[in-house]
A and B are shown apart, each in its own frame.
Chain A
Amino acid sequence: MNKELAKHFFSGHSACAGCAFPAIVRAVLGEASCEVVVANATGCLEVTSSLYPYTAWKTPWIHNAFENAAATISGVERAYEIMKRKKRLPGGDKKIKFVAFGGDGGTYDIGLQSLSGALERGHNFLYVLYDNEGYMNTGNQRSSATPYGAATETTPSGRASFGKTELRKNLMDIVAAHHIPYLAQANVAYLADLKKKAQKALAVEGPSFLTVFSPCTNNWKFPTSQYVAIAKLATETNFWPLYEIENGKYKITSEPKNVKPLTDFLKTQGRFKHLFSEKNKPVLERMQQITNEEFARLVSLTEK
């Protein structure tokens, strides 16, 4: 048992073997220099870490409904500030950082309005989104983070369909539109980069936001040992570029030297298996085109 690593988030949780988010949680919270309070939207992380009568969390942690992790943490933050002002804190005046975790379902879709409200009100908190591109906890339903072409339970592939027909929502731009001081997109395979971003995000006085790529072994359908390799491929193919937006300035933090074709990433996962048939060739080409266009758009934003 690595006590140092498990300081905030202990073992004994029931996440699938080979799940990516424990590494994300430990990397982000490991960078906190003060005590943290965590709120958690319903999702894989929440249900697997708090099986009654056990909790894997060693920090104060609040469970709330699917849609209101950001609202809960902003309430906690405000209450703490007011009790501090009225000198009614039993533990004395401590510096505390407030962190919310949510999956893509609880952030892109269901929790978007409470996240937007909390960002706009400017509470002092960090929101960490672990993006596994669907409702994985309930068995792989599509979310607005699911990429174009992926087969899910609600967008199955078959004779009439090639999987999801809509493009992924660009949440980073939606969050950036709230004029918050710091937000970044990171990847679990690049832990040094993720830690650096977490450090910056935790140092911000005000709202900050992290989106972290988190491959799901069960519903993306790949062997349990592969999450790091697949996450790495996502960045090497420009499917998941690593960048940050600091005070409105875009910056790409790590760019692959030799960009690999997107099929290298797609062929590792069962959810894209159907795309490698003769019939679905145009879908593959379209996906490559979407990835190229998205990356070109990102590069043009960094040049401003």
Chain B
Amino acid sequence: MEHGAVIKHDETKGPKTGAWRYMHPEVDKEKCIGCATCVPFCPEASIEMKENKADIDYDYCKGCGVCAEVCPVKAIMMKKK
């Protein structure tokens, strides 16, 4: 049987959507309270909690600004490069 259209997930073939970004989010580690509210709302799953602080992976972040918007203490700021 020919598997003409079977594609295996391969991270290396994926586009690094960070190139889409116009504004980029910056986490103020002092202000961040580690509530992780931003984590599940990120469409790119690019926020991780490291040492109880939000940490953003800029390889995939498209710069939408959802994390900055949902942050209850405004610890994430959107900045131009």
Of A98-106, A226-234, A287-295, the one touching chain B: A226-234
* Pair B43/A50 contact, Cβ less than 8 Å: no
A223 to B43: give the CA distance in the assembly, Å. Answer: 15
* Pair A20/B17 contact, Cβ less than 8 Å: no
- How many chain B residues sit at the interface, stated as a range, is 20 to 34
* Pair B46/A2 contact, Cβ less than 8 Å: yes
Q: Given the interface contacts A10-B9, A53-B7, does A20 sit within 8 Å of B45 by beta carbon?
A: no
Chain A residues whose C-beta falls within 8 Å of the C-beta of B68 in the assembled complex:
225
CB closest chain-A residue, reference B48:
A2
Q: Given the interface contacts A10-B11, A12-B14, A18-B65, does A5 sit within 8 Å of B39 by beta carbon?
A: yes
Contacting B43 at CB < 8 Å: which of A1, A23, A52? A23
Tell me if B28 is interfacial: C-beta within 8 Å of chain A: no
Q: How far does the Cβ of A21 sit from chain B's closest Cβ, in whole Å?
A: 8
Interface residues of B in 22-47 (CB under 8 A from A): 39-47
* Pair B45/A18 contact, Cβ less than 8 Å: no
Tell me if A27 is interfacial: C-beta within 8 Å of chain B: yes
* Pair A17/B43 contact, Cβ less than 8 Å: yes
Specify the main secondary structure of chain B where it touches its partner: loop
Specify the main secondary structure of chain A where it touches its partner: loop
Q: Given the interface contacts A5-B45, A15-B43, A191-B40, does A224 sit within 8 Å of B60 by beta carbon?
A: no
* Pair A18/B60 contact, Cβ less than 8 Å: no
Chain B residues whose C-beta falls within 8 Å of the C-beta of A302 in the assembled complex:
none
Chain B residues whose C-beta falls within 8 Å of the C-beta of A52 in the assembled complex:
7
Tell me if B13 is interfacial: C-beta within 8 Å of chain A: yes
Interface residues of A in 208-239 (CB under 8 A from B): 217, 223-229
* Pair A55/B7 contact, Cβ less than 8 Å: yes
Tell me if A26 is interfacial: C-beta within 8 Å of chain B: yes
* Pair A2/B47 contact, Cβ less than 8 Å: yes
Q: How far does the Cβ of B14 sit from chain A's closest Cβ, in whole Å?
A: 3
* Pair A20/B13 contact, Cβ less than 8 Å: no
* Pair B65/A223 contact, Cβ less than 8 Å: yes
Contacting B17 at CB < 8 Å: which of A14, A27, A55? A14
Q: How far does the Cβ of A29 sit from chain B's closest Cβ, in whole Å?
A: 12
* Pair B39/A2 contact, Cβ less than 8 Å: yes
Chain A residues whose C-beta falls within 8 Å of the C-beta of B39 in the assembled complex:
2, 5
Chain A residues whose C-beta falls within 8 Å of the C-beta of B43 in the assembled complex:
15, 17-20, 22-23
* Pair B45/A6 contact, Cβ less than 8 Å: yes
Chain B residues whose C-beta falls within 8 Å of the C-beta of A58 in the assembled complex:
9
* Pair A23/B40 contact, Cβ less than 8 Å: yes
* Pair B48/A228 contact, Cβ less than 8 Å: no
Q: How far does the Cβ of B1 sit from chain A's closest Cβ, in whole Å?
A: 14
A223 to B68: give the CA distance in the assembly, Å. Answer: 13
Chain B residues whose C-beta falls within 8 Å of the C-beta of A22 in the assembled complex:
43-45
A54 to B12: give the CA distance in the assembly, Å. Answer: 9
Q: How far does the Cβ of B48 sit from chain A's closest Cβ, in whole Å?
A: 5
A31 to B16: give the CA distance in the assembly, Å. Answer: 27
A14 to B62: give the CA distance in the assembly, Å. Answer: 10
In addition to A2-B46, A20-B43, 14 A-B residue pairs with Cβ atoms within 8 Å of each other are A1-B45, A9-B45, A13-B17, A14-B15, A14-B17, A18-B64, A19-B64, A23-B40, A26-B45, A55-B9, A58-B9, A224-B64, A225-B64, A229-B69
User: Which residue numbers of B lie inside 8 Å of A, CB to CB?
Assistant: 7-11, 13-17, 20, 39-48, 57, 59-60, 62-66, 68-70, 78
User: Which residue numbers of A lie inside 8 Å of B, CB to CB?
Assistant: 1-2, 5-6, 9-15, 17-20, 22-23, 26-27, 50-58, 191, 217, 223-229
